[in-house]
Structure 1
Amino acid sequence: MIRFDDVTKTYMRGQRPAVENLDIEFTRGEFVFLVGASGSGKSTLMRMVLKEVAPSRGTVYVAGKDLSRIPSWKVPALRRDIGMVFQDFRLLPSKTAYQNIEFALAVIGTPRKVVRRLVPEMLEMVGLEDKGKRLPHELSGGEQQRVAIARAYVNRPSILMADEPTGNLDPATAGGILDLLAEINERGTTVVMATHDRSAVDRMQRRVVEMVGGLVVRDEARGSYATPAPVSVISGNLPDDSAHRDEHPLEDQQEDSGPESTTAERSPAEDETHGATSAEEGSGTVASAGDVLEEDLIDEREALLVRDEDLDVEDAFAEEPFVSDPFADDAQEEER
């Protein structure tokens, strides 16, 4: 399903690689925890799966496809088969829970009839069937994350990537999110979750891959967060590589670079809270109107159109907006 073949990624010449000589495979239907200190290479690994960055050496395969051979205009199609869940939720603040999920379907031209069936199904699956009309700020942090998971899964991707999905949640709420991810995994989706959540890893007892300084130092079929292995940083057996970060301070600037930075401008920071702010349970964090999610989805729609030179793009977007209020009919009925 996902394979790294002798992959090394160096962001800037002279810097230490973010990942080095990476040879690992995640098979279909697996649930994998990626663990390691900040800067260990987890985020770079996930970004290469999404083809946000390309390896400096080696080959990344996703669903049997060599990503280096996929042209840029086909990347949106690739990403439709990869759901992504973030620590900071990245919901569109002006859209309801229903509309946030609907938006992921609208940009790929899903028929309205199918949307009206799928979105309620997703809301029910994540336990929010009665909260579809609520805006993100009216939901708790756990509820916002459930909406984000529903949005990531609504296209039934074969792979679901989760970057610290429980990082902003209290333990009880985090447990519910883990149960939801486990349910998605049981339906056949490969789940790869980067986390610092010790209790989550210990509770699930799934495959654990630990990274240190861009290298995989541990790969256990049914592992725990901590390990007696002497190469583990998170277990306190090996000092954190703070000297490396002092030597290359640019690595701590990934969060400031913004989502639209080019590959050359991005540092190899593996700050696992990339793009996130601290959020209290009950308030959460939502994306701004110009958030990368909406821009990426719009770019995806444009990418689908670029192949047809005869299509009038302006006319294509002049049609009635797809994302509408799904509860408008109910409101009109109440007025009558």
Structure 2
Amino acid sequence: MIRFDNVTKTYLRGQSPAVENLDIEFARGEFVFLVGASGSGKSTLMRMVLKEVAPTRGSVHVAGKDLARIPSWRVPALRRDIGMVFQDFRLLPSKTAYQNIEFALAVIGTPRKVVRRLVPEMLEMVGLEDKGRRLPHELSGGEQQRVAIARAYVNRPSILLADEPTGNLDPATAEGILDLLAEINERGTTVVMATHDRAAVNRMRRRVVEMVGGVVVRDEEGGGYESAVEDSVISGHAEDGESVTAAGTADPADPTRPSDPTPAPDGAESADRAGRDHVDEVRASEDVLEEDLIDEREAQHLDADDAAFAEDEEDHR
């Protein structure tokens, strides 16, 4: 389902690789936890599956396709078979729970009759059948994450990537989200979840892949969060690696942003916070604008892409 063949990813010349010599495969129907300290390469691995970034060396295969051979205009078709859930939910703030899920169907031109059937089914599956008309700010954090999962799963993707989906939730709510992901996995979807949630990993006892400095140091079936592996940072070993992360090194998924920046001096902190708030507001506005710009013509264009992709695949058989 997902295979990395000797993959190395370096973002900037002279910088240590975000992922190095990665040889690993995730089979169809697996539930895999990716664990490791911040900056260990988990997010880079996921971004390569989505073809957001390309490996510097090696090859990535998703659903039997070599991503290097997929041109940019076919990437939307690839991503329709990959659901993505984030720690911060990323719901459209001006749209209801129903409309947020509906949006994922609208962008691929799903007929209205199908939309009216699928969205209520998704709301019922995630336990929110009576809250479809609520806006995100009217929902709890756990409920918002359930909407985000429903949106990611509504197209029935074969792969679901979850990046810290329980990171902003209390333990009881996190258990419910984990149960929901397990249910999706039981329906046949491959789930790869990056997490720092010790309780979640220990409770599920699924395959655990631990990364340190872009390298896989543990691949264990039925594993727990911590391990006796000497190179494990999260288990209290390899303390030097832990201190490097804590010192504020560049985040490999965004080399321009420190993973744990040094606190700003008095007087600068409030200005910095205001700047971040402004950026967040702009991003939220851009999300709404992006939604408003998707119309029937875009849906037709995506359908045409699908038809061309299918013809090309048939020609290669």
TM-score greater than 0.5 by the shorter chain: yes
Preserved CA contact (<8 Å) 1:40 1:270: no
Q: Which residue of 2 aligns with 1:18?
A: 18
Matched ranges for 1:179-328 at <5 A: 179-241=179-241, 244=244, 249=249, 251-252=250-251, 266-267=254-255, 271=259, 288-291=284-287, 294=290, 298=294, 302=298, 305=301
Alignment-mate amino acid for residue 187 of structure 2: R
Q: Which residue of 2 aligns with 1:324?
A: none
Query: d(CA) in 2 for partners of 1:293 and 1:2?
Result: 33
Preserved CA contact (<8 Å) 1:74 1:303: no
Q: Which residue of 2 aligns with 1:158?
A: 158
Q: Using the TM superposition, give the Cα deviation of residue 271 of structure 1 relative to its aligned residue in structure 2, in angstroms.
A: 4.9
Q: Using the TM superposition, give the Cα deviation of residue 241 of structure 1 relative to its aligned residue in structure 2, in angstroms.
A: 2.4
Counterpart of 1:119 in 2: which secondary structure?
A: helix
Greater share of residues in helix: 2
Preserved CA contact (<8 Å) 1:76 1:303: no
Query: d(CA) in 1 for partners of 2:289 and 2:75?
Result: 15
Matched ranges for 1:12-51 at <5 A: 12-51=12-51
Q: Using the TM superposition, give the Cα deviation of residue 105 of structure 1 relative to its aligned residue in structure 2, in angstroms.
A: 0.1
Matched, 1:117 2:117: yes
Query: d(CA) in 2 for partners of 1:196 and 1:216?
Result: 16
Query: d(CA) in 2 for partners of 1:123 and 1:246?
Result: 40
Preserved CA contact (<8 Å) 1:33 1:209: yes
Preserved CA contact (<8 Å) 1:205 1:224: yes
- Structure 1, residues 130-165: CA drift from partner, whole Å, max 9, x if none? 000000000000000000000000000000000000
Preserved CA contact (<8 Å) 1:32 1:206: yes
Query: d(CA) in 1 for partners of 2:185 and 2:214?
Result: 27
Q: Using the TM superposition, give the Cα deviation of residue 305 of structure 1 relative to its aligned residue in structure 2, in angstroms.
A: 2.1
What's the RMSD between the two structures over aligned residues?
2.9
Query: d(CA) in 2 for partners of 1:76 and 1:270?
Result: 30
- TM-score normalised according to structure 2 size: 0.83
Q: Using the TM superposition, give the Cα deviation of residue 288 of structure 1 relative to its aligned residue in structure 2, in angstroms.
A: 1.3
Query: d(CA) in 2 for partners of 1:245 and 1:16?
Result: 13
Structure 1: give runs of 5+ residues left out of the alignment.
Answer: 255-265, 273-284, 310-336
Alignment-mate amino acid for residue 286 of structure 2: G
- TM-score normalised according to structure 1 size: 0.78
The percentage of aligned residue pairs carrying the same residue is 79
Distance 1:253 1:162, change over 3 A: closer
Structure 2: give runs of 5+ residues left out of the alignment.
Answer: 261-279, 306-317
Q: Which residue of 1 aligns with 2:81?
A: 81
Matched, 1:107 2:103: no
Counterpart of 2:89 in 1: which secondary structure?
A: coil
Alignment-mate amino acid for residue 201 of structure 2: V
Q: Using the TM superposition, give the Cα deviation of residue 290 of structure 1 relative to its aligned residue in structure 2, in angstroms.
A: 1.4
Matched, 1:6 2:2: no
The runs of at least 4 aligned residues of structure 1 exceeding 6 Å deviation read 306-309
Alignment-mate amino acid for residue 153 of structure 2: Y
Query: d(CA) in 1 for partners of 2:140 and 2:302?
Result: 39
Distance 1:189 1:268, change over 3 A: farther
Q: Using the TM superposition, give the Cα deviation of residue 240 of structure 1 relative to its aligned residue in structure 2, in angstroms.
A: 4.7
Distance 1:293 1:163, change over 3 A: farther
Preserved CA contact (<8 Å) 2:18 2:252: no
Alignment-mate amino acid for residue 104 of structure 2: A
Query: d(CA) in 2 for partners of 1:4 and 1:17?
Result: 15
Counterpart of 2:239 in 1: which secondary structure?
A: coil
Alignment-mate amino acid for residue 189 of structure 1: T
Q: Which residue of 1 aligns with 2:276?
A: none
Query: d(CA) in 2 for partners of 1:308 and 1:131?
Result: 35
Counterpart of 1:291 in 2: which secondary structure?
A: helix
Query: d(CA) in 2 for partners of 1:149 and 1:127?
Result: 11
Query: d(CA) in 2 for partners of 1:162 and 1:152?
Result: 10
Q: Using the TM superposition, give the Cα deviation of residue 292 of structure 1 relative to its aligned residue in structure 2, in angstroms.
A: 9.4
Query: d(CA) in 2 for partners of 1:293 and 1:196?
Result: 33
Counterpart of 2:11 in 1: which secondary structure?
A: coil
Counterpart of 1:25 in 2: which secondary structure?
A: strand
Query: d(CA) in 1 for partners of 2:256 and 2:192?
Result: 20
